[in-house]
């Protein structure tokens, strides 16, 4: 993930869509900070009324986050009531976390809490929130080669060879796949068992996560819609593990369009909307042996759930 420096209110506000991977609405975003660096971004819906129980619950969810301070950013068309803000600050204080600053934004302007809310400023044009930027992870319009259509699944030793190729750190980030090699990768990733084993490598060696993701999105540009198998969701999960929530959310749209009933798509979507870090998923995968993990999510009706606690 690109480095995001937060040096003031404007950069804090405009970093939120890049950190979460989407532009939130009617949300409280808590940036939990440890030793001056953002450790976790937490997003939650704003309550319908001022409720101290809501504030306590929000902070309680992050009780296991290793942090010493918090930055609270309120995203809404209206600034939050001072009473609601005080409830959140009180809950933070009870957990021993100091509040660095409190900001409110509608995506066009930001306001820093004063006595009461002061310092309303319009964001510079280049920093305003806009519709999420799009990256073409669908079909490249300038591809001269024929697109890859439906392919049979690939299993056994041949699929194992594809997995080894896919996670090989020596390969370029683009993969450099010939048409035949690209078809082999897409064929192998028709199988959930292969997908799960690729994700096992991604989680046990997270330094290759982004590289695997970029290799797979190069393939997505060469595959007919509806024929991707598990390629898109594998790429989306790899981006998430790499800390790139924005690209994970973009690729997830392709994954959901191709496999609308895929449980892993729904799990990742919920995690991204909630601003959850991938640590829970990574720890679960690391706790399984490679032989056990392949196909662990294969049974029909499997559901996934993650929590911040």
Residue range 106-155, pLDDT digits in tens: 877 777 766 455 566 666 665 566 544 445 565 554 445 677 888 888 88
DSSP-assigned states of every residue in 173-238: TTTT--HHHHHHHHHHTTSHHHHHHHHHHHHHSGGGHHHHHHHHHHHHTTB-TT--TTHHHHHHHH
Task: Characterize the bridge pairing of strands 109-113 and 37-45.
Answer: unpaired
Q: Which of 2-6, 11-15, 173-177 has the lowest mean pLDDT?
A: 2-6
103 plus 196 within the same structural domain? no
Looking at the fold, whether 18 and 101 belong to one and the same domain comes out as yes
Strands (DSSP E) contained in 56-159 are: 69-75, 98-105, 109-113, 117-122
| Residue 44, SS3 per DSSP | strand
Q: Is residue 243 part of a domain?
A: yes
Q: What pLDDT score does 50 carry?
A: 60
Residue 134 falls inside a structural domain: no
Return d(Cα 98, Cα 270) in angstroms, integer. 29
Average pLDDT, rounded, for the chain: 78
Distance of CA 220 to the CA centre of its chain: 19
Residue 82, domain CATH: 3.40.140.10
Q: Which token pair is 155?
A: 């299993």
pLDDT of 228-263, one tens digit each?
889 999 999 998 888 777 778 778 888 988 888 899
**pLDDT of 35:** 79
Residues 108 and 189 in one domain: no
Q: What is the reported pLDDT for 129?
A: 64
**Packed helices 192-204 and 231-241: angle between N→C axes, nearest 10 degrees:** 10
> Would 191 be classed as within a structural domain?
yes
Instruction: Look up the domain containing 14 and give its range.
Output: 9-127
Same-domain pairing of 284 and 171: yes
What angle, 0 to 180 degrees and rounded to 10, lies between the N-to-C axes of helices 263-273 and 231-241?
Answer: 30
Q: pTM (2 decimals)?
A: 0.58
Evaluate the CA torsion angle 268, 308, 274, 97 in order and state its sign: negative
pLDDT at 3: 57
Based on the fold, state whether residues 168 and 288 are members of the same structural domain: yes
CB 31 within 8 A of CB 71: yes
Four-point Cα dihedral 225, 230, 234, 235, nearest 10:
-20
Q: What is the pLDDT of residues 264-298, one digit of tens each?
A: 999 998 888 776 778 878 887 877 777 666 544 44
Domain count along the chain: 2
Q: How far apart are CA 212 and CA 210, in angstroms?
A: 5
Please state the rounded mean pLDDT for residues 82-86.
88
Cβ of 99: how many Cβ atoms within 10 Å?
Answer: 17
Q: Does residue 175 share a domain with residue 275?
A: yes
Q: pLDDT value at position 96?
A: 87
């Amino acid at each position: 993930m690109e480095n995001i420096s937060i040096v003031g209110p404007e950069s804090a506000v405009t970093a939120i869509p890049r950190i979460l991977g989407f532009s939130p609405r009617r949300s409280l975003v808590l940036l939990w900070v440890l030793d001056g660096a953002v450790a976790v971004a937490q997003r939650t819906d704003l309550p319908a009324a001022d409720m101290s129980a809501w504030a306590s619950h929000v902070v309680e969810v992050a009780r296991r986050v290793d942090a010493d301070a918090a930055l609270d950013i309120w995203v809404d068309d209206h600034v939050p009531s001072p009473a609601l803000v005080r409830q959140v600050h009180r809950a933070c204080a009870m957990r021993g976390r100091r509040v660095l600053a409190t900001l409110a934004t509608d995506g066009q302007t930001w306001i820093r809490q004063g006595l009461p809310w002061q310092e309303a400023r319009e964001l510079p044009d280049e920093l305003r929130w806009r519709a999420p930027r799009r990256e073409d992870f669908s079909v490249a319009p300038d591809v001269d080669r024929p697109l890859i259509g439906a392919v049979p699944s690939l299993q056994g030793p041949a699929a194992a060879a594809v997995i080894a190729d896919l996670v090989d750190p020596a390969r370029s980030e683009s993969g450099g796949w010939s048409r035949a090699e690209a078809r082999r990768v897409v064929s192998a990733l028709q199988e959930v068992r292969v997908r799960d084993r690729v994700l096992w490598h991604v989680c046990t060696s997270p330094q290759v996560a982004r590289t695997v993701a970029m290799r797979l999105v190069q393939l997505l540009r060469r595959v007919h819609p509806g024929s991707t198998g598990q390629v898109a969701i594998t790429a989306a999960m790899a981006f998430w593990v790499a800390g790139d929530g924005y690209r994970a959310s973009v690729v997830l749209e392709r994954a959901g369009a191709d496999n609308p009933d895929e449980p892993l798509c729904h799990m990742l979507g919920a995690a991204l909307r909630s601003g959850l870090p991938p640590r829970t998923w990574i720890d679960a995968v690391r706790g399984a042996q490679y032989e056990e993990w392949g196909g662990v999510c294969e049974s029909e009706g499997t559901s996934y759930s993650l929590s911040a606690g």
